[in-house]
Amino acid sequence: MSDLSTDPQAPASAPSAPAAPARRRWRLNSRSPIMITFYALILGLVVGALVIITTTPAVLDSWRGIFHSGTGIFRALKVTWDNVGAAYRSMFNGAVVNPANLWHSITTGQGWEATLTPLSETLTYATPLIITSLGVGIAFQTGLFNIGANGQAVLGGVTGAVVGSMVHVPMIVHLPLTLACGFAGGALAGLVPGFLKAYTGAHEVIVTIMFNYVIYAFLLFSVLSTPFQQPGQQNDISRTMDSSAQLHPLFGAASGLRVNYGIVVAALAVAFAWWFLERSSMGFDFRVTGANPAAAKASGINAKVVIILVFVISGGLSGLAGVVQVASTTHYIDGGFLIGSAGIGFTAITVALLGRNKPGGIVWASLLFAALGVGGRAMQGTTGIPLDLASVIQSAIVLFVATPVLVKEIFRLRAAPVVKLELATKGWGA
């Protein structure tokens, strides 16, 4: 496209040659996705702080006090600092580790449960999120939007929980069967939109969104009107999965830590996704299709097959996430399972974007989102600041990641000329 980029005929003796290595390193740094994400995280926290300041009465009062009761600006600053600090401290303590607890545990050898709970909670939340986001990410890499990941997760959860609670076999069979059925449920939920897209050209965004509602309705039906409903209950609650179908806590139920064997499933899913996207021939077809459908067709890739397979794999992973969610935490399903703000299938879309649809990136993005969610909960419990602040920070991070130019501008990263060059020469031909 551009006659300016890596031109083999570029003169070797450029005047600025001596400065080149240093400049290149700087450019690499400031343009690298990891750094952008890091800066976006900082900006997200700043936005969060602004929200705290403008919504916490104590902070607002302290600033009003400067004019009314004559309290000093330093007091106002201190109140602000204390409030924002307390919020973020409780967030960190609740999502990673409370330093006081850690010190207590190290010095006395006791209280490990309290010390490790935050990390355990973050991992517990991240586990299904990672798996769903992988599914969404694979679809994205193929150029397809799987907005139906949530419905697929719900159906996977339902099918998995049905098998987990109504089939009674030894664990060695039961657990794999349950997980496989969860995958199959999600894959089935993905197959329908995939088929419609491939053979009728129906837009996958519309179909998957609509299919979500179909599945939500099916969920309610299944927990209200079938033998799957908890016996003796008229409420929208399902049977409980057999112990042999559950993903048990890693450190035993007595540990009080909820982190569970689901992370083994997640790790396997990450390994699979990495192999699939980066190493497999089929994944190569998927990426080619995503990057250039016309070239994919000309190279002999069957777009219909790819589209259907993408939705089967993407949906299957979402379904696996759904069953992992049930099998690892509640062990039963209710009518609100994964619906509303708990819909990991929707969070997964942002997580996949944040992780740039790469398995490694998705792991980190999931952990970050899980930590913000879990930390937000702790913050709400200790400081009373609503959990929604965590969502604000999450959204702000994604926003900043999506607009790297803005981030660079704010942090005065002088990679700007490179960006401008790309923009200026786009579509100009040579």
Range 351-410, binding another protein (CB under 8 A): 374, 377-378, 380-382, 384, 386-387
Tell the smallest beta-carbon distance from residue 56 to another protein (Å).
16
What is the Cα–Cα distance from 327 to 241, expressed in whole angstroms? 7
Q: What angle do CA 373, 36, 274 make, to 5 degrees?
A: 70
Q: Is 65 in the site for another protein (CB under 8 A)?
A: no
Residue 346 or 400: the one with the smaller Cβ distance to another protein is 346
Residues 259-298 that bind another protein (CB under 8 A): 261, 264, 268, 275, 279-282, 284-285, 287-288, 291-292, 294-298
Q: How far is CA 320 from CA 155, 200, 275, 389, in A?
A: 10, 28, 18, 29
Residue 50 or 421: the one with the smaller Cβ distance to another protein is 421
Residues 211-230 that bind another protein (CB under 8 A): 220, 224
Contact present, 279 and 268 (Cβ < 8 Å): no
- Residue whose C-alpha is closest to residue 83's, from 385, 363, 414: 385
Q: What angle do CA 279, 283, 287 make, to 5 degrees?
A: 115
Q: How far is CA 204 from CA 209, 216, 285, 346, in A?
A: 8, 18, 19, 15
Judged by CB under 8 A, the residue of 33, 334, 364, 419 near another protein is 334
Q: What angle do CA 67, 68, 69 make, to 5 degrees?
A: 115
Residue 112 or 145: the one with the smaller Cβ distance to another protein is 112
3-state DSSP assignment of residue 260: strand
The 1-30 site mask, x for binding another protein (CB under 8 A), equals x-xxxxxxxxx--xxxx-xx--xx------
Q: Is 256 in the site for another protein (CB under 8 A)?
A: yes
- Residue whose C-alpha is closest to residue 88's, from 363, 410, 371: 371
Stretches 178-186, 257-265, 314-322, 398-406: which one binds another protein (CB under 8 A)?
A: 257-265
Residue 288 or 368: the one with the smaller Cβ distance to another protein is 288
Stretches 57-65, 200-208, 236-244, 309-317: which one binds another protein (CB under 8 A)?
A: 236-244
The 115-154 site mask, x for binding another protein (CB under 8 A), equals -xx---x--x------------------------------
Residues 73-112 that bind another protein (CB under 8 A): 94, 101, 104-105, 109-112
Tell the smallest beta-carbon distance from residue 243 to another protein (Å).
14
What is the Cα–Cα distance from 77 to 84, expressed in whole angstroms? 10
Q: How many residues form the binding site for another protein (CB under 8 A)?
A: 105
Tokens 């969404």 belong to which residue? 136
Tokens 């069953």 belong to which residue? 323
Tell the smallest beta-carbon distance from residue 128 to another protein (Å).
9
Q: Is 416 in the site for another protein (CB under 8 A)?
A: no
Q: How far is CA 49 from CA 42, 191, 384, 407, in A?
A: 11, 44, 15, 18
